[in-house]
Amino acid sequence: MGKLYQFHHQHPNGFMDQILSFIPKEAKKQIYELLEASKISIKIKKKRKTKHGDFRRMANGNSLITLNITTNPYRFLITLLHELAHFKVSQSFFYRIRPHGKEWKRAYRKILLPFLNPKIFPEPLCSLLAVHMLNPKASTDRDFDLVMALKKYDPPSVSVPIFKLMDGTKFSLENGRNFLKIKKLRTRYECKELKNGRIYLFSPHAEVFPTSSFI
């Protein structure tokens, strides 16, 4: 479901070209070399709301990376490197470790460092990514400044990040659910779903659709 492209290390040419078409041109050579050295399959899938990509070991022992399709080459590259770091860890550690523990952080820093170049990631992305890598989180979505910098390379949208709405603004989600923004807590925003009165917490960069004019 949702499979668009697949790369197999056994048949690199056509599949490799498809994967590289999502990568900033200045990074294509390095990614080609990384993938050539990795026995891994990659699938490009339709956009998923809860993640940009994932890595898993299959029952047959093979490794699989799935990545969301996107027109944002910088987001795609960061996600690919994130998941390749999981692959590298899986090749070195055969006992159970934390998915985003010190082993993964070390592998992620090592694999991303050669790409920290303003010719690949334009400023301020490069500098923000360098700061992010000091202690990388499980997802870039937890780094507000980096998320907002990446959004500048996404296609135009009528949605807005929730932090731009004033308290008391009503908004909806893509699935049609309606909310009222109440107030900011320490790192998230408290909002009430209008249908059932339940309280939910939203990340500041969550994309929503205002339905009242208090922005």
The enclosing domain of 199 has a CATH number of 2.30.30
Residue at which a domain ends, from 151, 183, 202: 151
The radius of gyration of the chain from alpha carbons, rounded to an integer in Å, stands at 19
Residues 122 and 197 in one domain: no
Based on the domain organization, do 53 and 145 belong to the same domain?
yes
Provide the domain count of the chain.
2
Residues of the chain with pLDDT under 50: 1-12, 215
Question: What pLDDT does residue 92 have?
Answer: 81
Cα–Cα distance for residue pair 107/76, rounded to 1 Å: 18
**Residue 215 forms part of a structural domain:** no
User: Whole-angstrom Cα distance, residue 133 to residue 14?
Assistant: 32
The predicted model scores a pTM of 0.82
Contacts 24+ apart (CB under 8 A), 35-39: 35/7, 35/9, 36/9, 36/12, 38/9, 38/84, 38/87, 39/9, 39/63
Name the H helices within 152-207.
none
Same domain, 107 and 143: yes
- The reported pLDDT for the residue numbered 213 is 60
Mark whether 146 and 166 lie in a shared domain: no
Residues spanned by the domain of 170:
160-210
Beta strands 63-68 and 41-45 are: parallel
Element (H, E) at 30: helix 28-36
Taking each helix axis from N to C terminus, what angle separates 144-151 and 73-92, rounded to the nearest 10 degrees? 130
